[in-house]
Amino acid sequence: MADTYASKQARQSPDPDTSGRNKRALIGEALAELVAAAGGGGPRLRIGLMAAGGEVPVEDYLQGAALAMRHDPRIQAVGLGPRPDALLPPGMDWIETPACEADMAAAMEKALESTGHGALHGAVALHYPFPVGVATLGRIQTPARGRPMILASSTGISAPHRACAMLRNALYGIAAAKALGVENPSLGVLNLDAAPQVLRALARLRERGYPVRFGESVRSDGGALLRGNDLLAGAADVCVCDTLTGNVLMKVFAAFNSGGVYETAGWGYGPSAGEGWDKVVSIISRASGAPVIANALACTAQAVRGNLPGRVAEELRAARAAGLDGELAALEPQAASAQDAPPAMPPVEPTDEEIHGIDVLDLENAVHALWKVGIYAEAAMGCTGPVIKLAAAARARAGEVLRAAGYV
């Protein structure tokens, strides 16, 4: 059960003197927050932090929270997980849960959806299975010139097919850059499969009025098609890539100084974005250390203040007015025949189990294979790759179906 400051107060003795002291303490906290808001230029944001299940000590989470709150007094870090024995940094709150990822995620989601005392405005998670259509926009510090660059995307997946996902990633990356304070971000596309098609689609959108500003490669031939040199130099504010490539790049840039076992640099795997997605959930790795944790909390708060979900909606509206839907349709693979239409979806059930190890290109077909036998399932993208979400009771039978079909 989530254990917040308010629930602890509710369990206190009804003794009138104690009750009076508690009320005075709450009033004092409220006045302190008003003073902090007035002095700091805005209201205090409560940003959740999953603080269990990682490969670093809990002290790294506490230190990261302390650094973030010291740098920006308008942030209140709120830990999620088993309450540590160590003393919390001044001002940090805690929502106590078991160490299970599902329990921490459930408490996080409840607090994000709440509007009362104890609500979260955003959150930083070690693992979160985003629905297909939602991706995170990672942010790296480029070593050659020290300037930040957004990698769009680094976890999640904005569309089942690479080309469509990369086109959407371009819009979401621009939205994230604007939410983080870059007024007119430049954009380039990493030289991967489908990159030329995506660049041509973006160029056509620009011709029809979508105001995208292309970056320029540092290589002699220039252009907005980016190479490895451009990642090192930070040739554009936003680098468009597919999720799995972005995830690998994030890890390399974050941990190259430590030999890969501890992430020391960057802002983590970034805040989430997607069409109709109204939450700001950011991702860090299990190997992210205190500096990255602090930066991720600060980046999440900045994305909340910059209204990232609203920015995404604005970019989609502007791109649709310039023909986005037609460009996405042209990038979609054509169905082989009518018999390949997806089967009817079974009745929706709570999904409290995950199946890992599905290739991203097979994810949609694997879900449909389960639908055909009456098993409700959802495609999602977790921090370690594609996952299928389903009811725990169907886990064994689903495994048999997927093995028989060659998906696992």
Residues known to be catalytic: 383
What is the SS3 assignment for 36?
helix
| Nearest one of 332, 313, 142 to 226, comparing CA atoms | 142
Rounded Cα gap, residues 363 and 383, in angstroms: 15
Strand-pair category, 213-214 with 377-382: unpaired
Query: Contact at 8 Å (CB) between 380 and 352?
Result: no
DSSP 3-state assignment of 377?
A: strand
Instruction: Work out the end-to-end distance of the chain between its first and last CA atoms, rounded to an integer number of angstroms.
Output: 35
Q: What are 143-149's contacts with CB under 8 Å, separation 24+?
A: 143/232, 143/253, 144/232, 144/233, 144/234, 145/233, 145/234, 146/234, 147/234, 148/234, 148/237, 148/267, 149/231, 149/234, 149/236, 149/237, 149/238, 149/239
